Amino acid sequence: MKTTYIMQKEIRESILTSKGFLWYTLTSIILSILSYLFLTNSELSLLDQGQMLYMIMNFITALGILMGLVFGSDAFAGEIERGTLEALFISPVNKTEIAMGKLGAAVTNWGIIFVISLPYLFVVGKGGQNLLIGIAYLAILGTLLAIIFSAFSMGLSARIKSMKNSLIISFFIFLLAGAPIFLSAALRKTWFGMILDLINPFADAINTFDSVVIDSQGFSYQAGRVAIICGYTLLSLWFLKRSVSRLEM
């Protein structure tokens, strides 16, 4: 219950604000532009429908992760910098409950981005292949990735106690996570590239979307990657719990 109160406070503080709505409006405008360009047969639409759906899914996932990182970095360091965390710690709420409340708000933020993206996914994927299964995978893997990156960033924020520094480190890690995508197709097929792809939860999610939406492959093809993402989820929650339990003012 206390976790719920913390989560409500976080949602009011970060989501139901003009800044929060500005983010969501921008998200929606970018998705509007992307969808329109994809579908209107201009020269930018050099993609088939599955490919478009896949690209929009990647964009939504990356945006969800980025916003999760901002949420996470502010979670503890931001409250310490604003002098508000001590009053919370004085209250009879344990640190894990506080962390879970904050994580709940970060996941809610992902949920809002997902809901905003749904009409675009339906419009872009209409009449194409694997739309519904693609959306289901986006809902599940996107949520897990939002948890992984937000929890990791929150843990860092509790350890470093500086919002700016935890945000920089989190962004750096996210860029590292995205780096294999920039490798050439040939390099990604080498054992080195394949391992790099496999141990990276972001690449795992994107490769799963590719496999599900474009290649129409079943769950047995995805099981390994999904298991790795689940593993990272548990690891990030453990990291968060350990980081906040050590947090001292």
Partner 1 sequence: MKRLILALSAVILSITVNYAYAANRIAVSINPPSVQANMGDTITYTGTITNNSDKAANNIIAYISLSNVTQGKESPMDLEDWSANKAIKIDTIQPHGTYGGKWPMRLIDSGSYVAYITVVDKNSNIPVSSEMSHLEVKRILRLNPNNVLPVAIGEPLIIGIVFMFVALRRRKGVK
Partner 2 sequence: MIVNVENLVKKYDGHTALDGLNFGVEDGDIFGFLGPNGAGKTTTIRILTAIIKADSGNVVINGHDVFREPMAVKEIINALPESNGYYEWMTAREYLEFFSNLYEEEMSRQEIDGLLEAVGLHGKEGHLIRSYSRGMKQRLGIARALVNKPKFLFLDEPTNGLDPKGRRDIHDLLIDLNRKHGTTVFLSTHLLDDVERLCNRIAIINYGKIVRAGEVKKGTIEDIFFMSTKEGTL
- Residues forming contacts to partner 1 in the complex (CB under 8 A) are 16, 18, 21, 24-25, 28-29, 31-33, 35-36, 39-43, 45-48, 51, 116, 119-120, 123-124, 126-127
Report in angstroms how near the CB of residue 144 gets to partner 2 at its nearest. Answer: 29
Report in angstroms how near the CB of residue 92 gets to partner 2 at its nearest. Answer: 4
Report in angstroms how near the CB of residue 42 gets to partner 1 at its nearest. Answer: 8
Q: Which of 82, 126, 164, 242 binds partner 2 (CB under 8 A)?
A: 82
28 binds, among partner 1, partner 2, none (CB under 5 to 8 A by kind): partner 1
> What burial letters (b/e) apply to 87-118, b meaning 16+ CB within 10 Å?
eeeeeeeebebbbbbbbbbbbbbbebbbebbe
> Would you report the helix, strand and coil content of the chain in percent, each value rounded to 5?
85, 0, 15
Candidates 36-44, 77-85, 114-122, 189-197; binding stretch for partner 2 (CB under 8 A): 77-85
Q: Is 188 in the site for partner 2 (CB under 8 A)?
A: no
Q: What is the DSSP string of 201-238?
A: HHHHHHHHHIIIIIS---HHHHHHHHHHHHHHHHHHHH
Report in angstroms how near the CB of residue 24 gets to partner 2 at its nearest. Answer: 18
Contact 216, 132 (CB under 8 A): no
Contact 247, 76 (CB under 8 A): yes
CB-wise, 11 or 240, nearer to partner 1? 11
Site for partner 2 in 17-56 (CB under 8 A): 17
Q: Maximum CA pair distance of the chain?
A: 60
Which of 167, 142, 151 has the alpha carbon at shortest distance from 104?
Answer: 151
Distance CA 8, CA 111 (A): 15
Site for partner 2 in 92-121 (CB under 8 A): 92-94
Q: Which residues bind partner 2 (CB under 8 A)?
A: 2, 5, 9, 12-13, 17, 79, 82-84, 86-87, 89-94, 248-249
